[in-house]
Structure 1
Amino acid sequence: MTDQPPAAIDVQGLNKSFGDKHVVRDVSIRVDEGRITGFLGPNGAGKTTTLRLLCGLLTPDSGEGEVLGLDFRTETDAIKRQTGYMTQRFSLYEDMTIEENLAFIARVYGLGDRRQRVEQALKRLGLYDRRKQLASALSGGWKQRLALAAATLHGPKLLLLDEPTAGVDPKARREFWDEIHALAAAGLTVLVSTHYMDEAERCHDIGYILNGRLIARGTAAEIIANSGLVTFNGQGPDIGRVAAKLEHQPGVLSASAFGAAVHVSGVDRAALDTAIEPYRHSPYEWNEVSPSLEDVFIQLMGREADDRYAA
């Protein structure tokens, strides 16, 4: 029996309601130390609420477990001191400079060697030459760097990121993820919510939440392998019109456009072959491909909708 690595997060039966809306439903999640876990799901799925419950910003209706070895219900103050939290919306002071914002955060945490810590953060995230610039004058990518510097200034053991790359350009996203991997390599545990499939694939493992329930958990490869999906890639003129026709055929769970191609997926290979057969001839070309994460998540969304309808 192999020893299981220590967990930064190990929580079971997490629930939270606001009025008659059950936002988080019996979520159990474990995140090992030093891992980057992607937390995916559509808007309103419960991602942000779960993050806030884990770091003590919200009180759960029920649930038990530990975050950083501390009871996540009764030791919230200690958890907050060891956690960095970066919100989706930029929440620092727009009328202060980059340096002033970080100096303020250092005072809030009561950090020693504040000047040295701020200078190190500025240099690590490439902010030093802009340190006198007002936060209001920064682009989305630079605001993102500042927010990350503020969230990690106190040397947390756990970093929670709520859709941190929304609205920034691809170059800034790539640089952000390079920094996240560098932090994880140094021992930081990261739980990051995102809408981007390419970002999910950069995580060590993934959790997919829908309608408040955690319905898939594992590495990207494990989630794809466990889906049981069969996927065909089709190409040809007006393939989008073909996709629209295939979408409603028996056995087809999804028919989604990928640029000039279409992915047609289902769990019944024979039914898929039957659906595609009328379009096998020229000018169309078909070949079987490995399902993408997006294919799998479309399947999961459809299955969850069917389960709710049946209930």
Structure 2
Amino acid sequence: METVVNEWIDYFDSNKSKLEMSFVAPQGIENTSRMHTGGRVYIKKPIKVSSLNRVHGFLEVLKLLLFGHYDFVVCLSVPLLKVCAIIRKCFKRKFGIISWFHFSLTRIIKNSDEKYLKMCDFHLAISSGISDYLIQHGVPKNEIALIYNPSGDDHAINDRKSYLKRRNDGILRLAYVGRVLWNGQKNLQFLLTGLSQFQLPWRLRIIGTGPEPDLTLLKQYVEVNNLSDYVAIDGWQANPFKRVSNQSDFVILTSEYEGLPMVLIEALQRGIPVISSDCPDGTRDVVSTENGYLYKVGDMTDFIHVLNTAFNQKNAFSYHAVRKSGRKFDSSSYFVRVEKAFNQIDEVSRC
């Protein structure tokens, strides 16, 4: 989400659009070093006491919406959506509300939240799964724009050094890039369990970090199952794909759910094929027969079958075909969709 918001900050701050966009983090952000700055970026310093921070955040939103004279407010979370809807109703303001969620709606929307979805004037969907969810829950199709997400690293993607060079050594080389979560969303336990049962030669490189308990469980599993020669744990890296491009046959993701898996998009745009769980939301927008394989979420038999197929057919994927399959996520294509969506929002608001 930080990556995409930074893309918006850069785009709307560069006068490429007729829209004037402000970016506000009313409750603050703990680590602002990864966030871009600009003339209309307002990130508040968080208060350590969480209950006071929520009150402070509400007051900041109230002040902005009462005195900011905004035409539309884009909400990235359900709590912010609720706050904006309440302020609009109580103070009889005329601004429109747009949802822009970056997580699986089946995980973040409760039954009591559905009325707030219908209070929105428009929805920006980052995946077809999110769009389908909204339609199934009563949102008119003409109030939804499917915009996906941008890759966020076009200059690196165009670097010819990122060409994939597969090794012909009879080993399936995989890379996991992302947050290290042993159970739950990322489900690295499933990944390691499946590879332990896989009968053909393999290697796994894990790039990323996570909560200390999850890192401990990962390292313990590797040690107890004598996998130290097969699993490399690199930790957090500023440029993870520098380690992936010339050393891996596939980027792999075993998530139980995703909004839109950016790591798969970044892999495709570097010509690296992918293996992923078939999540309810975003993976089908990314993975196709041209660039990789999907397996049923939580189905170990299907997962190992996919690993066998990938081992036998890893050279079947063309670098150029894989890259081409990811072009719809290029930043230039992405912001064409965003601008079109805002034109659509303007038309809907006039009706």
TM-score scaled to structure 1, two decimals?
Answer: 0.25
Structure ranking higher in strand proportion: 1
Q: Which structure has more RCO (C-alpha within 8 Å, separation ≥ 6)?
A: 1
Structure ranking higher in helix proportion: 2
